Amino acid sequence: MRIAIIGCGNMGGAIARGLAADKEFSSHNTITVANRSQEKLTRIQAEFPDLSTTTSNVTAAGDADIVILAVKPWLIETVAAEIKPVLTARTVIVSVAANIFTDALAAIFTFPEGHCPVFYVIPNTAASIAESMTAIAEKGATEAQRNFIVDMFNRLGSAMILEERLMPAAMILGSCGTAFAMRYVRAAMEAGVELGLYPAQARHIVAQTLKGAAELLLSGTSHPEEEVDKVTTPGGITIKGLNRMEACGFSHAVIEGHKACR
């Protein structure tokens, strides 16, 4: 497959890096990254010399089987107008622009013979290290096309097909959630420093602890509260800490923060 990634910002760059680092995938597929400025392209090609780069969106999209639009939502129609003359109804369109749903994409990429297969995809920046959580909705794709896109994003972490009505919730948990998790890490680090640790020590301890907690859930079927029960002994320090967090509004703040993103 010939894959064009339009945009080399945080998300486009993360996808490009993740796919380029997958030697099996990159050896069987050609990846071209387009960006309007050369600086980001120079940087990513220095990391992955086998990547093709160009400052022309038209050049990248012209011979692509799959076009990944990693641009801001307000630029989708502008970029589409630019590249549409070199596309066909058989070109697979993958958009990672937030809140541009498949009906809108299909309307934008319509040809006399019908619209392109379109995918609305919400990954996160951990795609660069193959640890993204990616939600996918599609319209008009064949089973083979759907399987290819899901496999591609599974290579960047974990991917799931969702009903499109659930995509906003998935975006909040899986994309905004990265920032929420980082704020927890920062707060826990600050607590660790106050308790006597050096910042680098606190960062490593908190990050590894979060990674381990996540793996406990991903490797089994236990509810988070079951894992909490395993480390909260009667009269122990963990339950004291949890109760204090709840008294300060921890769970309420997390729930309200997620709901505020709607």
User: Per residue in 21-40, pLDDT tens?
Assistant: 999 999 999 999 999 999 99
Question: Do 174 and 137 belong together in one domain?
Answer: no
pLDDT of residue 142: 97
Question: Do 133 and 240 belong together in one domain?
Answer: no
Question: Do 20 and 120 belong together in one domain?
Answer: yes
Hey, how many other C-beta atoms are within 10 angstroms of the C-beta on 5? Answer: 29
Question: Do 11 and 53 belong together in one domain?
Answer: yes
Q: Are strands 52-54 and 157-161 parallel, antiparallel or unpaired?
A: unpaired
Question: Do 174 and 155 belong together in one domain?
Answer: no
Q: How confident is the model at residue 92 (pLDDT cuts 50, 70, 90)?
A: very high
Question: Do 69 and 177 belong together in one domain?
Answer: no
For the chain, the average pLDDT equals: 97
Q: Is 179 exposed, middle or buried (0-12, 13-18, 19+ CB in 10 A)?
A: exposed
Question: Do 136 and 185 belong together in one domain?
Answer: no
pLDDT of residue 197: 98
Question: Do 153 and 27 belong together in one domain?
Answer: yes
Identify the CA nearest to 120 among candidates 104, 134, 107, 101.
101
Question: Do 143 and 227 belong together in one domain?
Answer: no
pLDDT of residue 71: 97
42: CATH: 3.40.50.720
Question: Do 25 and 106 belong together in one domain?
Answer: yes
124-183 pLDDT per residue, tens:
999 999 999 999 999 999 999 999 999 999 999 999 999 999 999 999 999 999 999 999
CB-CB contact of 134 with 158 (8 Å): yes
∠ Cα 127 21 176 (to 5°): 5
Calculate mean pLDDT across residues 224-252: 96
Q: Determine the structural domain holding residue 66 and report its residue range.
A: 2-162
Q: Which of 131, 162, 193 is the last residue of a domain?
A: 162
How many domains does the chain fold into?
Answer: 2
187-231 pLDDT per residue, tens:
999 999 999 999 999 999 999 999 999 999 999 889 999 999 999
pLDDT of residue 52: 96
